[in-house]
Chain A
Amino acid sequence: MNLLYFAWVRQKTGRAEEKFELPDDITTVRELAEHLRERGGGYGEAFAELARLRAAVNQEHVSFDAPVTSEDEVAFFPPVTGG
């Protein structure tokens, strides 16, 4: 799967995008975020408080309970501030 990060999430993880081999036991956005948090370092900081994050699967806003599969593009970012 493709993972994308924006704004301060991108700055903390240190990358805008990465390929990720989805482990079989991860089935939701929340489980994916918790897995990334366990990497520690910048990832630990970026995913410390999931309430501060939003997610999109295949370019659509989703809740953290949404399912993920190995074919998906998943993005993590702060609440949007355009306009």
Chain B
Amino acid sequence: MIRIQPEDFDAGAEIARLNASTDVGAVATFTGHVRADDGLIALTLEHYPAMTEREIARHVAEAESRWPLLGVTIIHRVGRLVPGDRIVFVGVASSHRHAAFEACQFLMDYLKAHAPFWKQEERAGATRWVEAKSADEKAARRW
């Protein structure tokens, strides 16, 4: 399941949903939060709606072809978020832990490097677009 939404999400409820079958032996999740770096007041996330879900669905299909997965949930928030807010959730269910851990990391790395989202930071009245990090590109390439 892929959801792009301004609303917050309940990570506990998402984990319970991923654990819906008794074949599930492992659920690995990642939850990203907005950090209060250098006086950050807010982050505003913009995206390319027609492309975002398609691009993420492609990554999920790729993960499903590499690991035996029983469920995948990706939630990414958009709009204005403040420090402490949850921003992204990646949850993967599998029979065994290695597949769940690896697929979760793979999906997060791919999301960072390829999903069409852009962050604008707000600090004391000034706004600035976040620059992409080459480390994120590198993290996605290792897969």
Residues of A within 8 A of B (CB): 4, 6-8, 56, 59-61, 73, 75, 77-83
A77-B116, A80-B115, A83-B88 given; A59·B50 CB < 8 A: yes
Closest chain A residue, CB of each to CB of B43? A81
A6 to B50 Cα, complex, angstroms: 13
A77 to B51 Cα, complex, angstroms: 12
Option from B46, B55, B112, B115 in Cβ contact (under 8 Å) with A7: B46
B118 — which chain A residues lie within 8 A by C-beta?
6-7, 77-78, 80-82
Judging by beta carbons under 8 Å apart, are A80 and B132 in contact?
yes
Tell whether B54 is near chain A: CB-to-CB under 8 Å: yes
A81 — which chain B residues lie within 8 A by C-beta?
117-119, 129-132
- A75, A77, A79, A83: which has the most chain B beta carbons within 10 Å? A83
Per-position binary interface string of chain B over residues 36-75, scored 1 when its CB falls under 8 Å from any chain A CB and 0 otherwise? 0000000001111011001100000000000000000000
A-B contact pairs, 16 of them (CB 8 A): A7-B129, A75-B51, A77-B118, A78-B129, A79-B131, A80-B113, A81-B117, A81-B119, A81-B132, A82-B45, A82-B117, A83-B32, A83-B87, A83-B88, A83-B108, A83-B136
CB of B96, distance to nearest CB on chain A (Å): 26
B117 — which chain A residues lie within 8 A by C-beta?
80-83
Residues of B within 8 A of A (CB): 32, 45-48, 50-51, 54-55, 76, 87-88, 108, 111-120, 129-132, 136-137
CB of A45, distance to nearest CB on chain B (Å): 14
B136 — which chain A residues lie within 8 A by C-beta?
83
A6 — which chain B residues lie within 8 A by C-beta?
46-48, 116, 118
A6 to B111 Cα, complex, angstroms: 17
A75 to B119 Cα, complex, angstroms: 17
CB of B20, distance to nearest CB on chain A (Å): 26
CB of B84, distance to nearest CB on chain A (Å): 17
Option from A75, A79, A83 in Cβ contact (under 8 Å) with B48: A75
CB of A63, distance to nearest CB on chain B (Å): 14
A83 to B52 Cα, complex, angstroms: 12
Judging by beta carbons under 8 Å apart, are B132 and A59 in contact?
no
